[in-house]
Amino acid sequence: MKDIIIIGAGDFGKEVAWLIEGINKVSLSYRILGFLDDDEKKTGKVINGYTCLGKITKLFDISKKMSVCAVIAMQNGTVRRHIVERLTCFDHWETIIHPSANVSDTLAIGKGCIICAGNSISVNTNIGNHCVFNISAILGHDCIIDDYVSVMSGACVCGHVTVGKEAYLATNCTVVPGKTIGCNAVVGAGSVVLRNVKDNVTVMGVPAKVFKFI
C-alpha cells in the first residue's frame, strides 16, 4: 500500500479523495495521509475524513521522513504546472485511475494524471504529465494530449485530436475528429469544435467561435 498526499483541499480535492477511496474498494492500494493547501484557514481542518496538514511546501518535510507519493487536485492546468515547478525536488507523482474507467491497454500515460469515474479512453492515445479527466469524459483513438491538459465532465474528444499544453476543455464540449486545440486554449461548456483552435484563445458556441472578453 502506498501513502499518498492530495495537493489541494478544495472541491476537486474532495472528489480526488473519493476517487482514491473507489480504487481502495476494488484493491487496497493507498493510505490517504491528508491534504496540503496554501490556504492557511484550511490547515488543521478535517475535510471528508482527512486532515489538511499545512501548506503545499510541507510535502518536502513529509517526503524526508517517509516514502510518499502525491497527486495535484487542481482543475486548472497552469496552476498544476506552477505547483510542479515549485516542488522540483519531488518526483513521486502518482497517476490515479478510477476502476470504472474504460481505458485501453495501448494507452500511454505520463505521471501525476487523474482519470475519474466513467471515463472512456480509446486505443493508441498518448497522454502527457499531470492531466486531468473529470467524470465521464470520452477520449477517442490516436489522440495526443500534452502536459497539464484539463478535460472536464462529459467532454467528448474524438479520434486523431491533438490538445496542447494547459488547454482546458469545459463540461460537455465536443471536438470533432482530427482537430488541434492550441496550448492554453479554452473550449467553453457545450461548445462544438469544428475547426482548429489557436494557442491562448477561448472559443465558445455551436459551432465554436473565438470569444472576446469585453
Residues 27 and 100 grouped into a single domain? no
List the grid coordinates of 156.
467528448
Q: How far are the Cα atoms of 16, 56, 123, 197 from residue 145, in angstroms, in the given order?
A: 21, 27, 13, 14
What CATH number is associated with residue 121? 2.160.10.10
Say what the pLDDT of residue 173 is. 98
Do residues 78 and 107 share a domain? no
Residue-level pLDDT at 167: 98
Residue 211 has pLDDT above 90, yes or no: no
| Type of residue at 139 | L
80 and 183 together in one domain: no
- Shared domain for 68 and 117, answered yes or no, is no
The pLDDT assigned to 213 comes to 66
Instruction: Tell me the per-residue pLDDT of 39-87, one tens digit each, with 9 for 90 and over.
Output: 999 999 999 999 999 999 999 999 999 999 999 999 999 999 999 999 9
Percent of the residues in the chain that have a pLDDT greater than 70, as a whole number: 99
Domain count of the fold of the chain: 2
Q: Which residues pair with 210 in a beta bridge?
A: 203
Q: Which amino acid is at 180?
A: T
pLDDT at 163 over 80: yes
pLDDT tens figures, 174-205:
999 999 999 999 999 999 999 999 999 999 99
- pLDDT confidence of residue 154: 97
Chosen domain end from 34, 58, 86: 86
Q: At which of 86, 112, 144 does a domain end?
A: 86
In the structure grid, which three cell numbers stand for residue 114, read together?
A: 487523474
Q: Of 82, 92, 141, 160, which is the active-site residue?
A: 141
pLDDT value of position 214: 59
Q: Which of 17, 52, 86 is the last residue of a domain?
A: 86
> Is 214 within a domain?
no
Considering the domain boundaries, does residue 127 fall inside one? yes
For residue 36, what pLDDT is reported? 98
In a domain, 64, yes or no: yes
Q: Is the entire prediction scored with pTM above 0.85?
A: yes
- Quick one: 101 and 82 in the same domain? no
Same domain, 100 and 77: no
**Residue 161 maps to a domain:** yes
Q: Is 141 a catalytic residue?
A: yes
Average pLDDT over residues 109-134: 98
- 156 and 54, same structural domain? no
Cα 159 off chain centre by: 20
> Do 62 and 154 belong together in one domain?
no
**Same domain? 68 vs 147:** no
List the CATH number of the domain containing 14: 3.40.50.20
The Cα–Cα gap between 86 and 36 comes to 14
Provide the residue range defining the domain that includes 21.
2-86
Q: What is the rounded distance in angstroms from the CA atom of residue 193 to the CA atom of residue 113?
A: 24
With b for 16 or more beta-carbon neighbours within 10 A and e for fewer, the 72-85 pattern comes to bbbbebeebbebbe
pLDDT value, residue 212: 74
Residues counted in the chain:
214
Q: Same domain, yes or no, for 55 and 105? A: no
Inside any domain, residue 190: yes
